[in-house]
Amino acid sequence: MQGYVDRISQVLDAQPEPVVLVGHSSGSMVIRKAAEQRPDKIEMLLYVGAYPLRNSEVALSAYGNYTKSLVLLKLAMSEDGLSTTLREEAIREGLLDDVSDENVERAKSRFEPQAVAALATPVALTEDNFGRIPRVYIETLKNRAISPSLQKEMYEWLPCQKVISMNTGHWAFYWAPKELVDHLTSLLA
């Protein structure tokens, strides 16, 4: 987790003005820690089909007994227990069930093992840092990885200034890239 945050902090420190940080899925756990460490460098946090978790909460606890995630059920743990990989059948079934074969193949080529630490590391958040940064959530209504009801629970318990709905699956940028860009552009205007 800290390695991800250190890299984001390097990029933030090189920017002349505050930026909008976008966190998709588990990437949202990294941007909240970056926001805690570099609040003056961030204008807004934007969550897209993500985990807007509370102070010191981890993604695995947010799921609790939630077992309807086709993705969560199809993770394969590495032998050393440090990373997970999504089983190939879950890519189309859980993430990209309504996109072109070309986009599915493009997505598969980008899959890498993911560090479990991002899902299991609690992040202490303060009102003085993380709490003062505006947050926006883009909910993905056909999401089979993080259900719409779970997304709603999370963005209600960590309020966002605005919630935008997209009729897409987990990866909005494959389902409706132009619509997602239009939302991002309107938020920046």
Is residue 189 one of the residues assigned to a domain?
Answer: no
* 27, 62, 86, 111, 160 from 114: Cα distances, Å: 11, 18, 9, 9, 27
Q: Which residue has the higher pLDDT, 139 or 60?
A: 139
- 143 is a domain residue: yes
Instruction: Tell me the residue length of the chain.
Output: 189
**Tell me, what's the pLDDT at 13?**
97
Q: Per-residue pLDDT for 9 more than 50?
A: yes
According to the model, what pLDDT value does residue 46 have? 96
Q: Does some domain include residue 79?
A: no
- pLDDT tens digits along 57-107: 876 665 554 445 556 667 778 899 888 887 777 777 777 777 788 888 888
Q: Is 92 a domain residue?
A: no
Residue 139 and residue 148 in contact, taking contact as beta carbons nearer than 8 Å: yes
Q: Is the pLDDT of residue 178 over 80?
A: yes
- Structural domain including 159 reads 2-64+115-183
Q: Which of 85-89, 165-169, 171-175 has the highest mean pLDDT?
A: 165-169
Is 96 a member of any domain?
Answer: no
| pLDDT range class, residue 139, cuts 50, 70, 90 | very high
Mean pLDDT across the stretch 8-19? 97
Is 84 among the domain residues? no
Question: What CATH number does the domain containing 141 carry?
Answer: 3.40.50.1820
CA atoms of 71 and 91, how far apart (whole Å): 8
The answer as to whether 82 is a domain residue is no
pLDDT of amino acid 14: 97
pLDDT at 186 over 70: yes
Helix (H) or strand (E) holding 48: strand 42-48
Task: Kindly tell me if the per-residue pLDDT of 160 is higher than 60.
Answer: yes
| DSSP code, position 151 | H
What's the domain count of the chain? Answer: 1
In this structure, is residue 107 part of a structural domain? no
